[in-house]
Structures are given as C-alpha cells and as structure tokens.
Amino acid sequence: MNFNLSAITSVVPFLLSGLLFTIEITVVGVIGGIVFGSLLAVARLSSNRLLSAFATAYINLMRSIPLIMVIFWVFFLVPWAIGWLTNGGRPVAVGASLTIYVTFVLFEAAYYAEIVRAGFRSISSGQYAACEALGLSKLHAYVYILFPQAIRNVLPILLTQTIILFQDTSLVYVISATDLLGAATKIAQRDGKLVEMYLTVGVIYFLFCYSASQLVKRLQGRLAYGAR
C-alpha cells in the first residue's frame, strides 16, 4: 500500500471547509433540535390529549425511520410540497444546505424530545406542586424552575446524543453535500486517494467524538447537586 502524505496536505483547505459545514449542521441540529424537541416534550407531557397525541405520533414516526430516508424525503419532496402550496404545482428549488438544516432539526428533535421528557420525569412531583402553590404560571414554572432542572439532570445524555448527531451528519453525502466526508469522498475519487482521505477523516471524526465523550464523563461526575 502506498500512503502519500502530500496527497492530504494539498487539500487541507477543502477538507476544512467540509469540516466547517459538518460543524454548522451539528450546531443547527443541536440548537434547533433541542428547542423543537423541548416543545415536543412539553406537548407530549401535556394534559391536552390532542397535543400529546400529535407529539407522541411525531416522535414515534421519526424514531422509526432511518435518517437517510428523511434526508431523501426532505430533499426530493419538499421542493414539490412548497411548489404545490405556492407555485401552482411546479417544484421550487430549495438549497442543499437548507434541506439539510431542516432535516436535522426535524429528525433530531424527536430524539432530544425523549431525552428532555426523561429530564422532566426525573423531577419530583413535589416540585410541580411547589410551583403551583406559589402561584407560578405554567409558562413561568417550566421556564424558570422545571426546564433548568430537567436539562441539568440529562445533560450527559444530551451531549451523547449530540456526538451521535455529529457522526450522523456524514449521511448528507447521499445528496452530494460537501460536509467533511463529502469533501473527502470527492477528492478521493478525483485523485484516486481513497486510503489517505478516508483514514484522515476517520481520525478527525474520532478526535472530535472522543474528546466530547471525555467531557461527558467529567460532567457526569460533577453534576450531583451540592458538588459545586
């Protein structure tokens, strides 16, 4: 096997731009996913049956299909759907980045929702009673009392899910997007440097995920209340 280091150094800027896009997807997916996921979690726990049923159905649907299918659906169907609604049936071009952002928010929200829901359920019922007895509105109780505790209780799991999200971003290569893996694939095929490229991105994914998982480990030890 002939490993050629110079094959890597010359394409570093291109790989970096791919890595940057991977990080962008992750950041959008985490923020959008946690915001939308938290709303889904609250909806699923709501006493309003319709709201709860909708959230449950959404979460179960998303968690029952592979991410790669959702990427395809959004990529191929959303231009038609928007076209149907606004353009008399003709599909409207939607950029690959936007497609990907939307997909990851919609998909990851289902997983974050279940984690946040577990966080809410880990809070004792007495905390809910205390909020009620103090006359706090539902919104105030959730925003100031319950949500901060819920997130704190599940922070390690949230981070673990985020590591998985970071890895899952590599699936966007199926719609030819240039994320880290996409960039590597393009160069590998152009220059015939499959071994060098796939080894390099493998190492990059590993470094990111391993250091994040070490962070999770340290957080778990420090998160008990009182140990400040």
Q: Given the rule CB under 8 A, which residues bind another protein?
A: 124, 126-127, 129-130, 132-137, 140, 144-145, 148-149, 152, 225-226, 228
Our CB check for another protein shows the closer of 89 and 226 to be: 226
The phi and psi torsions of 9 (rounded to 5 degrees) equal -55, -35
> Closest approach of Cβ 136 to another protein, in Å?
6
Cβ neighbours, 10 Å, residue 25: 25
Q: Which is nearer to another protein, 38 or 170 (CB)?
A: 38
CB of 135 to another protein, least distance (A): 4
Nearer to another protein, 151 or 199 (CB): 151
Report how far residue 203's alpha carbon sits from residue 220's, in angstroms, rounded to the nearest whole number: 26
> d(Cα 198, Cα 185) in Å, to the nearest integer?
8
Q: How far is the CB of 144 from another protein (least distance, A)?
A: 6
- Locate 11 and state its tokens: 């394409």
Tell me whether residue 88 or residue 226 sits nearer to another protein (CB atom).
226
Q: What is the C-alpha radius of gyration for the chain, rounded to an integer number of angstroms?
A: 21
- Smallest gap from residue 115 Cβ to another protein (A): 18
Report CA-CA distances (Å) from 132 to 58, 138, 142: 30, 8, 11
DSSP string, 130-196: HHHHTT--HHHIIIIIIHHHHHHHHHHHHHHHHHHHHHHGGGGGGGT--SHHHHHHHHHHHHT-HHH
Distance CA 123, CA 44 (A): 16
Nearer to another protein, 50 or 224 (CB): 224
Give, in order, the Cα–Cα distances in Å from 31 to each of 134, 158, 203. 31, 11, 26
- Please state the closest distance from residue 150 (CB atom) to another protein, in A: 10
Q: How far apart are CB 131 and another protein at their closest, in Å? A: 9
Nearer to another protein (CB atom), residue 31 or residue 129: 129
Closest approach of Cβ 141 to another protein, in Å?
9
Nearer to another protein, 5 or 133 (CB): 133
